[in-house]
Chain A
Amino acid sequence: MSIAVRHPGAADPFLTYIKVCFRIRCEKAERSYWILAMNLYTAPSTKDRKKTEAEKRPAASPPHEPLYEAQKKIFPKEIKGRFRRFKWLVMLITLGIYYLTPWIRWDRGPFAPDQAVLVDLANRRFYFFMIEIWPQEFFFVAGLLVMAGFGLFLVTSAVGRAWCGYACPQTVWVDLFLAVERFVEGDRNARMKLDASPWSVQKLAKRTVKHAAWLLIAIATGGAWIFYFSDAPSLAFDFVTGHAAFVAYSTVAILTATTYVLGGLMREQVCIYMCPWPRIQGAMLDDNSLVVTYNDWRGELRGKSSKNAAVEERTVGDCVDCNACVAVCPMGIDIRDGQQFECITCALCIDACDNVMDKLGRERGLIAYATLNEYQSNMALATDCGRSSIDPNRVRKSDGSFVDQIRHFDWKILLRLRTLLYMGIWSAVGLALLVALLSRDRLEINVLHDRNPQFVLESDGSIRNGYTVRLLNMIPERRTVFLSLQGLPGAEMKIPEISTDYADRVFAIPLDPDKATPLKVFVTLPKKAIFDPREGFNFVLEDRASGETDVYHANFNTPGASK
């Protein structure tokens, strides 16, 4: 048996693809020097380095490198800043929604559950506040998924991988787990020291507390999930007292395991190796999408401060090589290597860099959200269209401020054809769903004609057809409805469930709340009235109190006419 393996030294096919794409695009536009400029000042990645080393080695003594890359330990440093605050806020909202939603009550009267959001699988009902969905209305959920898809396209084309950076459950829970880790074990340096230190009572205690806290969060996460499928308070009681269904315990166990393993142990590995979404989002970015960018046109050359140096002799850029951006990165990458598929655009490196720039008294935005277009324009300026290496003097006036040709983010770029198109589709689907929701029936009739026999000849020569009629009362209230015949003059109905001998063209029928009521209905057409019943007739169902009606067009079969 054998397994095909990519050489460790080979370039990542995804990166190669991106580079090829860039090159093709630039040659088309006769601006390939920008790409040259970009590559000149991108620090070689570890992978590239390995490759060169491997090439240097003589073929006769092949190196024995491991074929699989082990997980690198990452110790993200705590950071304060506006993006960090935004992330805390998003975490608060998303986790709040997730954990608390099942506990919101919503009074629907005595015939329906009072839980605001409930997926009642046993009774095949889905409750969402004032909306109740029956299985045949599941297209609403499908429509919401379509909206979620287009919403992601919209967000990605406008502001890049914002989903990855802020709202993805993986990101949110990892953030939470990291906060716990930081609380128990300390910040970056303390954690690195602890990790490197030999096992001791203190280390064991800290690790135990951390994993116990993680497990508790994981259990709470799995536990919250099951409350969406059953009445939360009673399920919580049953769960604790050991009376809940086995599936409740197994679901909690599985979700606890996945939360603990994915959020606590695997972390960035999930984003890099398991999730297809980064690749898809990467392909959806275009030149005008916002991505977290290291602006090397003002950062290079890296070096210690030139604050006191004469302005004319400026030889280094704004980057002081403090590594703050690397230290805070939860993905363990260096944003200064350029755009990388590992980057989830959480923007914490922006906070880190802004803090440093503030301290140095320099303008913020050395690392910033920027579009590829802006970046390339500024880069061309700094490198004299690729003819030289980055010269900090080209982008600055003599007083140290940036020259006017420097492009900054223009919010109007968000309103381009692509985003407007996504917005339009997203709104259209939303609008269609809303219209469908507001105009949907809460009283329905479905009719099934008897298959065998198609008709029955009665002794007086009249013809009888049998139907199975289902009356759907889709509100949690009792009501009396009227079922009547429209068309087929002379015909009468008999409904054995109501009366075995009474025949009429209209019947009052009591319906149970939130139930489908099946009825056997016999329709008899007198001999005299049989001329051409092929056009059929209508069953009309009406709730005279609410004015709701539903009509079902049914066939009436006779010996002479069959359909």
Chain B
Amino acid sequence: MADKHIDDISGVETTGHEWDGIRELNNPLPRWWLWTFYATIVWALAYTVVYPAWPMLTSATKGIWGYSSRAELSAELAAAKTAKGDMLQKIAATPVKDILADPQLAKFATAAGAAAFKVNCVQCHGSGAAGGAGYPNLNDDEWLWGGNIEQIHQTISHGIRFQDDAETRTSEMPAFGDILKPDEIKQVAAYVVSLTDKPHNAALVEPGKQLFADNCASCHGQDAKGNREFGAPNLADAIWLKVRGEEQIIAQIRQPKHGVMPAWNARLGDTTVKELAVYIHSLGGGE
């Protein structure tokens, strides 16, 4: 700004720029504005002293208040835990069956169980607990090992075919590929299909029924409605856990697949397992 330009009327220096004959006055700043500006600078400097700010070689200054967002988080988590403490203690002290009888406790447990389910269970059972092939749907009314609250609690606690847990539930369907001839397996499969009114080959069903009574009824029952003692599924209902259609039934008889569910008691603790049991029980299929 070599040439200083003074505005004729106000006597104030202009910025030296001109737009279509309009010049901008270069007035001093309003005092209140300037003081506010200085105040923000002081504020900013004080802030760096009070809070962690200046980078050093290995870490940063801690600030005289010793604030850290991690400490704040853990404090908040601790506070939340304390706030929930009463309810958690109550759940720990109450047998799982009695939780259902207390509406307030059941509501809390259901909400807590839903949260725990989303972290631990959705990987296999799905976010809506609807399962998938080989992973049971927890909404429906078919339960391999029983669907009352205590049985659900037992299943979650100790798992299914989970060898690290002594109390785990175990059963294994033999591979009938070694026991029955391929034709006989076809006959059994035709009989199983016929139980649920599906299209089937009537000629195969009659011998299949006899073979079923001889080989399968010990676990699945004479009426093929399963047996929860052995986790033997009901074959006469609409729900199929692992197989769809005759081909897959044949494959399952010949060389059965077995699912494994981990035991959660050791990992999550009994309180969370109780909450999970209450939540699963609330999904609509609980007995």
- A1 within 8 A of partner (CB): yes
- B206 within 8 A of partner (CB): no
- Taking CB atoms, residues of chain A closer than 8 Å to B284 are 456, 464, 466, 494, 522
- Taking CB atoms, residues of chain B closer than 8 Å to A456 are 130, 137, 139-140, 284-285
- Taking the closest CB of chain B, its distance from the CB of A434, in whole angstroms, is 41
Interface of chain A, helix or strand or loop or mixed? loop
Binary contact track B6-28/A, C-beta < 8 Å → 1, others 0 = 11111110010000000011110
- Taking CB atoms, residues of chain A closer than 8 Å to B25 are 2-5
Nearest neighbor of A9 in chain B, beta-carbon distance:
B9
Segment among B86-94, B165-173, B186-194, B232-240 that sits at the interface with chain A = B232-240
Among B9, B126, B238, the residue within 8 A (CB) of A452 is B126
Binary contact track B234-252/A, C-beta < 8 Å → 1, others 0 = 1001110000000000000
Indicate if the CB atoms of B239 and A457 lie closer than 8 Å.
Answer: yes
Question: A457-B238, A459-B142 in contact; A450/B10 too (CB < 8 A)?
Answer: no
Question: A451-B128, A456-B284, A459-B140 in contact; A1/B238 too (CB < 8 A)?
Answer: no
- B98 within 8 A of partner (CB): no
Among A64, A453, A457, the residue within 8 A (CB) of B11 is A64
Bound CA span A197–B30, Å = 31
- Taking CB atoms, residues of chain B closer than 8 Å to A494 are 284
- Taking CB atoms, residues of chain A closer than 8 Å to B126 are 452-453
Bound CA span A552–B30, Å = 62
Question: A452-B130, A459-B141, A466-B284 in contact; A63/B29 too (CB < 8 A)?
Answer: no
Nearest neighbor of B225 in chain A, beta-carbon distance:
A459
Indicate if the CB atoms of B142 and A62 lie closer than 8 Å.
Answer: no
- A54 within 8 A of partner (CB): yes
Interface residues of B in 93-125 (CB under 8 A from A): none
Question: A62-B9, A67-B27 in contact; A459/B237 too (CB < 8 A)?
Answer: yes
Bound CA span A3–B34, Å = 13
Bound CA span A65–B127, Å = 75
Indicate if the CB atoms of B137 and A459 lie closer than 8 Å.
Answer: no
- A478 within 8 A of partner (CB): no
Q: Which of B10, B11, B27, B285 has the largest number of chain A CB atoms within 10 A?
A: B10
Indicate if the CB atoms of A450 and B238 lie closer than 8 Å.
Answer: no
- A243 within 8 A of partner (CB): no
Indicate if the CB atoms of A54 and B238 lie closer than 8 Å.
Answer: no
Bound CA span A466–B137, Å = 14
- Taking CB atoms, residues of chain B closer than 8 Å to A3 are 25, 27, 29-30
- Taking CB atoms, residues of chain A closer than 8 Å to B238 are 457-461, 527
Binary contact track A262-291/B, C-beta < 8 Å → 1, others 0 = 000000000000000000000000000000
- Taking CB atoms, residues of chain B closer than 8 Å to A464 are 139-140, 284
- Taking the closest CB of chain B, its distance from the CB of A454, in whole angstroms, is 8
Bound CA span A2–B7, Å = 14
Nearest neighbor of A63 in chain B, beta-carbon distance:
B11
Residue pairs across A and B with CB atoms within 8 Å: the count is: 87
- A169 within 8 A of partner (CB): no
Question: A452-B130, A458-B238, A459-B239 in contact; A4/B7 too (CB < 8 A)?
Answer: no
- Taking CB atoms, residues of chain B closer than 8 Å to A136 are none
Q: Which of A450, A452, A458, A461 has the largest number of chain B CB atoms within 10 A?
A: A458
Among B27, B128, B140, the residue within 8 A (CB) of A5 is B27
- Taking CB atoms, residues of chain A closer than 8 Å to B142 are 458-459
Indicate if the CB atoms of A2 and B26 lie closer than 8 Å.
Answer: yes
- Taking CB atoms, residues of chain B closer than 8 Å to A1 are 29
Indicate if the CB atoms of B27 and A453 lie closer than 8 Å.
Answer: no
Indicate if the CB atoms of A453 and B130 lie closer than 8 Å.
Answer: yes
Bound CA span A460–B196, Å = 10
- A202 within 8 A of partner (CB): no
Bound CA span A24–B15, Å = 37
- A563 within 8 A of partner (CB): no
- Taking CB atoms, residues of chain A closer than 8 Å to B61 are none
- A8 within 8 A of partner (CB): yes
Interface residues of A in 455-483 (CB under 8 A from B): 456-461, 464, 466
Bound CA span A64–B13, Å = 12
- A49 within 8 A of partner (CB): no
Indicate if the CB atoms of B140 and A458 lie closer than 8 Å.
Answer: yes
- Taking CB atoms, residues of chain B closer than 8 Å to A527 are 238
Bound CA span A466–B9, Å = 79
- A123 within 8 A of partner (CB): no
Indicate if the CB atoms of B10 and A67 lie closer than 8 Å.
Answer: yes
- Taking the closest CB of chain B, its distance from the CB of A70, in whole angstroms, is 14
- A59 within 8 A of partner (CB): yes
Indicate if the CB atoms of B239 and A62 lie closer than 8 Å.
Answer: no
Nearest neighbor of A497 in chain B, beta-carbon distance:
B103
Interface residues of A in 1-32 (CB under 8 A from B): 1-5, 7-9
- B286 within 8 A of partner (CB): yes
- Taking CB atoms, residues of chain A closer than 8 Å to B227 are none
Bound CA span A9–B9, Å = 8
Interface residues of A in 418-466 (CB under 8 A from B): 450-453, 456-461, 464, 466
Interface residues of A in 45-63 (CB under 8 A from B): 54, 59, 62-63
- Taking the closest CB of chain B, its distance from the CB of A314, in whole angstroms, is 44
- A489 within 8 A of partner (CB): no
- Taking CB atoms, residues of chain B closer than 8 Å to A62 are 6-11
Bound CA span A64–B9, Å = 8
Bound CA span A461–B240, Å = 11
- Taking CB atoms, residues of chain A closer than 8 Å to B12 are 5, 67
Nearest neighbor of B8 in chain A, beta-carbon distance:
A59
Bound CA span A440–B9, Å = 66
Question: A67-B27, A452-B127, A500-B286 in contact; A460/B9 too (CB < 8 A)?
Answer: no
- A400 within 8 A of partner (CB): no
Indicate if the CB atoms of A7 and B237 lie closer than 8 Å.
Answer: no
8 A–B contacts from the bound complex (CB under 8 Å) = A2-B26, A5-B25, A64-B11, A67-B12, A453-B129, A457-B238, A457-B239, A527-B238
Besides A2-B27, A3-B27, A453-B139, 14 other A-B contacts (C-beta < 8 A): A5-B12, A5-B27, A7-B10, A8-B9, A451-B128, A452-B127, A452-B130, A453-B130, A458-B141, A459-B238, A464-B139, A466-B139, A494-B284, A500-B286
Pick the 7 closest A-B CB pairs, nearest first.
A452-B128, A62-B11, A453-B130, A459-B237, A461-B238, A456-B139, A453-B128
